[in-house]
Structure 1
């Protein structure tokens, strides 16, 4: 009888599993955009609640709306706080915990709003002539600091706003430029600078704390928060680049405003990047992140401690061969918690200030938005993986027990057949070990043969990770029946600074050979990969590498290049941040032309007479980091040499394809292109 009962139970379980598997389906691009995205998260002053941004996109409306939600730190169902018809972003608790402030443009201009938690509708707090970009509360709740973009030549904020209005209404749209930097990423910034302002708790009596023709905070190479009040609310630390040509250096410095007429630079002796200042709980110490080498944006960060009492500086992490990202103080001021990219993950660490001993608290997946309870016992954070978008988690620091607080996308994820990333390691061309990830297609059968899509990341000092990427999503690439592989070639972050440094001045050398060695390893060690059906795709540096591959080998059936450099000399003359190519290629192309020529795919177009891999080229016309002329040159060369090719240009996109309907077109065109040539 017992045996029959066990058999019936086993049969039921097998039937349930088979039915569940049959109910699963492959992921689609519509699913990717249906995922609800958790953004900024803030812990309440008493540690009992979390407020977070949640963005929902509409494919039909081709846009998204961000609303604010409240969640108990004990878990449960989150509660919506703001309208889902207009966006609300950047939530901040008032220091007394009685209200939540946020930014919204619901009345036509970005202002700070205040939502009392004891009931009532949000009300506008500020009436500033310009859009407010970001803000923070002083710890005592008496003041706010906020940032706005001003015209430094204007006599005041009102004149700056009037000039903006006149420019918008004028039929003349010309830019008159007298100096670098005049545009960045996706916008022109002529006569525009970030400034930090302070106002009172009622949103009145504002004052520009960082006047002058400088960006404070800077436009790039920034920390998570680059202006902050001291615990007693009397001092303000901020980051700025005060050099004559910020476009050609990385000298971001940390400044301290002691009072209205007393400003000092704390990091004047370091010409490399300094950012992300945070005061210790007692206000005596200032932690910040610093690089060592001027001009190098991918140098390793160290956590530094500036003692405000004796003006001494010590490094906490110079013995740690990874680059700290976010950091927070423990409430007792004895330790700092931080995360850092490591081998495709983002673990969380804790360092003791007295011993400088570093311990790893969390190892798996990608962990960010670190927050700690007022009693120092619980760590709150966001976590994502290749099969789960960001969700909220908590860790008991004494027991090291982790619990999930939210599961926003559970209903949709439960429908999808997804395989988590698998790690692989191989010996590259020079004997060094390299690491990558592999993703299997839905309903994988090891007895079958599958085509391979080989993905190449940007940077080049980037990293393929165990994350749910909304642009280059490995699960979506696998959804059409492909095995997906992604190698963290030399130059990638998360493997020590020596590995990261190895790409500089060697763009088409070691990284390319790592990728080819990785491909050799994959087809030799995974019998389910069809070595005769391999495509490659990449963006940014990955797009450059696709362009390079196109001129160097014929082992791929199809290529996809997005936002990739083709001619490095002409790119130098049209990009915006000049420190990057000057470091990567040893100077300007006028003074040091050799490497610009050596590593430009444009120089090797004649190789297409020997082989011609069908290539799809895509680009955003508002991309000022890798300007669209690179895609036009690549496509022109492909066409003139008779290589099967297609060009897709998005007039309303930048370095990324960010609008839902554009993204759907991009994914469909990429899949169609690969399937056309590979199957």
Structure 2
């Protein structure tokens, strides 16, 4: 049958019934990845980058695709091109590449010809964004804030590299963040004028600022915009001060393109403001705003300011979802918004006049890339398909898949079928989850269970393709997979998400217990009495909590980067706003709350075999948390193993390390579920 279909020239669907191989971590590491997608001003052309992997070699190149046509490769350089943007006239593209030895801005005419270097700065360009007219560009550079010139920053970096001493001196928090010790450098924004292929001398419009713009570690130029008239730059940043590690008060600041004093546009909001976005006609500024100070998982409301009247309002204030990204359509009447929704990440179109919204896409995990020329460019992935590019009309019609970048690599790979389920959890409230059948599933057989618990804790294991915790890898190894979005998960309403704070070991544990029991009754092929559980971050915390409070629930546990002792965790984590909100204050102010759900207080009940995994560069949940759990397991004589990565942070990013991670994790779980 497979040969017959191929003979007819038909494409096999990913994960088809004719596929032979189960999905493995080697397949995951070898997948191509689409990134840096841009849409031409008239909506007719898409340019994007594809990172291809061939053994130990990887390369990233740019492709152009006219809507309705075939993709055309644009670049063949051995390096990496990324961060693509169309020129205002649509005749060429700008991108970043390190072709000249450092990462600089390049221009490529689409009519033909070689790429030309636009910037030649002594520092790497980490990001850029043009104004509406395409005549000015804001550049993201990492500089020494004490320097007046880029050359000064470069010279100081060279001098530091030649220093013989290694001691690092600090006078306050935060001295390290995510996986990096603070080195005195800061992200700053520079504005330059563009004259043909020549940039003027960049002006540091954030000169003297001792905070990060854009903020670290995950923000980019989505936090920066030119005003429609090109006279100002608006950016999100914290105000300078010694309290940055224990508050989340990011504000929107406006500064002239020539530099000068910045004006705080959102000073009246003591919580998080983000994603300043302007309509092309200059009528509105939209942004996302939280309302609870110190709470990083609060609902992002969609805010709108009429720049003519000065009126500010929340769009759709009764909509109980948190925005993830926003973008204006061609006119100021339409704002596109992404948000998590019942296990999906959906795209909506909102009317800026009335706050009405329509659902454009509500299947899988979707991400806005661009809106122009009456079109919306977005990506989509699901539990059994990696990310590809899609295009649709602004009203959601004519949804078209543009790429299938892994069709050849996955044509002979099988994925497990999956389905969303619901059950009555804590307080008899509806809780959602997903199950996945093992590859090679046979009716009437029973299969061991891999019970995966997401991190966050305000997170979700929904209908998405995950680059690290990929549920299909457990299905490929012969497990039935169960994932529960317990109380505290995102995408189910504000109250549901808020409910985990100050109750880490309460409602979530009850949901997990009831969810496993319920799915076992709904799907009898799942052998819930032959199960292992695994989780990272808060999910790792839950492994430690389960060990002491559900000690007969599983044959084994896998604890990745899990919190073990809430007292010591508070003293060494970097973003103090997180525990201070989750537990109501500092450890010494709320000792009882921290200790109420502290796994270390229940080690007398530990008996379940546990694999402990941790990265030494993890400053969010420092390594000692994993070492302490392993010490207890070993001293109590409980079967246990430790896998430590000296070069990884809170995540496992090195592909070879990811192979090792899955070899140990799947091997551990197979060992204890083999019957």
TM-score, scaled relative to structure 1? 0.93
> Which of 597, 600, 611 is the matching residue for 2:598?
600
Secondary structure of the 1:132 match is coil
1:227 equivalent in structure 2? 224
Deviation of residue 512 (structure 1)?
Answer: 1.0
Aligned: 1:632 with 2:621: no
Aligned: 1:286 with 2:285: yes
2:582 equivalent in structure 1? 584
Q: Structure 1 residues 496 and 223, CA, compared in 2 at 3 Å: closer, same or farther? A: farther
1:453 equivalent in structure 2? 450
2:236 equivalent in structure 1? 239
2:499 equivalent in structure 1? 502
2:361 equivalent in structure 1? 362
Contact 2:205 2:256 in 1 (8 A): no
Deviation of residue 397 (structure 1)?
Answer: 4.3
Secondary structure of the 2:413 match is coil
2:301 equivalent in structure 1? 302
Deviation of residue 420 (structure 1)?
Answer: 4.0
Deviation of residue 113 (structure 1)?
Answer: 1.7
Note the alpha carbon deviations across 1:572-625, whole angstroms, 9 max, x for none. Answer: 1211111001000111112221122222211211112xxx11111111111111
Q: Structure 1 residues 662 and 359, CA, compared in 2 at 3 Å: closer, same or farther? A: same
Contact 1:222 1:276 in 2 (8 A): no
2:263 equivalent in structure 1? 264
Contact 1:326 1:370 in 2 (8 A): no
2:653 equivalent in structure 1? 658
Q: Within 2, Cα distance between the matches of 1:624 and 1:56?
A: 31
Q: Structure 1 residues 373 and 154, CA, compared in 2 at 3 Å: closer, same or farther? A: closer
1:28 equivalent in structure 2? 24
Contact 2:33 2:50 in 1 (8 A): yes
1:273 equivalent in structure 2? 272
1:85 equivalent in structure 2? 78
Q: Within 2, Cα distance between the matches of 1:509 and 1:224?
A: 39
Q: Structure 1 residues 639 and 166, CA, compared in 2 at 3 Å: closer, same or farther? A: same
Q: Structure 1 residues 496 and 222, CA, compared in 2 at 3 Å: closer, same or farther? A: farther
Q: Within 2, Cα distance between the matches of 1:280 and 1:52?
A: 24
Secondary structure of the 1:52 match is strand
Aligned: 1:162 with 2:150: no
Q: Within 1, Cα distance between the matches of 2:156 and 2:60?
A: 30
Q: Structure 1 residues 106 and 642, CA, compared in 2 at 3 Å: closer, same or farther? A: farther
Note the alpha carbon deviations across 1:326-352, whole angstroms, 9 max, x for none. Answer: 111121211111111011101111111
2:525 equivalent in structure 1? 528
Aligned: 1:566 with 2:561: no
Q: Within 2, Cα distance between the matches of 1:90 and 1:447?
A: 50
Q: Structure 1 residues 223 and 92, CA, compared in 2 at 3 Å: closer, same or farther? A: closer
Aligned: 1:70 with 2:67: no
Deviation of residue 392 (structure 1)?
Answer: 1.3
Contact 1:386 1:420 in 2 (8 A): no
Contact 1:423 1:436 in 2 (8 A): yes
Q: Structure 1 residues 90 and 398, CA, compared in 2 at 3 Å: closer, same or farther? A: closer
Contact 2:138 2:190 in 1 (8 A): yes
Aligned: 1:98 with 2:91: yes
Q: Within 2, Cα distance between the matches of 1:663 and 1:35?
A: 14
Deviation of residue 380 (structure 1)?
Answer: 2.1
Q: Structure 1 residues 231 and 271, CA, compared in 2 at 3 Å: closer, same or farther? A: same
Aligned: 1:413 with 2:407: no
1:485 equivalent in structure 2? 482
Contact 1:293 1:299 in 2 (8 A): yes
2:610 equivalent in structure 1? 615
Contact 2:316 2:356 in 1 (8 A): no
1:141 equivalent in structure 2? 134
Where do 1:180-259 residues align within 5 Å? 180-201=173-194, 202-211=198-207, 212-219=209-216, 222=219, 225-244=222-241, 245-258=243-256
> Which of 452, 457, 462 is the matching residue for 2:459?
462
Q: Within 2, Cα distance between the matches of 1:119 and 1:237?
A: 35
Unaligned runs of 5+ in 1: 1-8
Deviation of residue 259 (structure 1)?
Answer: 5.3
1:474 equivalent in structure 2? 471
Deviation of residue 173 (structure 1)?
Answer: 2.2
Q: How many residues align?
A: 658
Aligned: 1:43 with 2:42: no
Secondary structure of the 2:22 match is coil
Q: Within 2, Cα distance between the matches of 1:50 and 1:158?
A: 37
Q: Structure 1 residues 255 and 176, CA, compared in 2 at 3 Å: closer, same or farther? A: same
Q: Within 1, Cα distance between the matches of 2:429 and 2:312?
A: 36
Contact 1:274 1:291 in 2 (8 A): yes
Deviation of residue 284 (structure 1)?
Answer: 2.5
Secondary structure of the 1:430 match is helix
Deviation of residue 299 (structure 1)?
Answer: 0.4
Aligned: 1:111 with 2:104: yes
Secondary structure of the 1:573 match is helix
Note the alpha carbon deviations across 1:433-491, whole angstroms, 9 max, x for none. Answer: 10000010112112101000000001001111211111011111110111001000011
> Which of 547, 550, 558 is the matching residue for 2:547?
550
Note the alpha carbon deviations across 1:482-535, whole angstroms, 9 max, x for none. Answer: 100100001100000000001101111111111111111122222111233100
Name whichever of 489-498 and 197-206 sits farther off. 197-206
Aligned: 1:379 with 2:376: yes
Q: Which runs of 4+ in 1 moved over 6 A?
A: none
Q: Structure 1 residues 306 and 22, CA, compared in 2 at 3 Å: closer, same or farther? A: closer
1:152 equivalent in structure 2? 145
Q: Structure 1 residues 456 and 84, CA, compared in 2 at 3 Å: closer, same or farther? A: farther
Q: CA RMSD in A?
A: 2.1
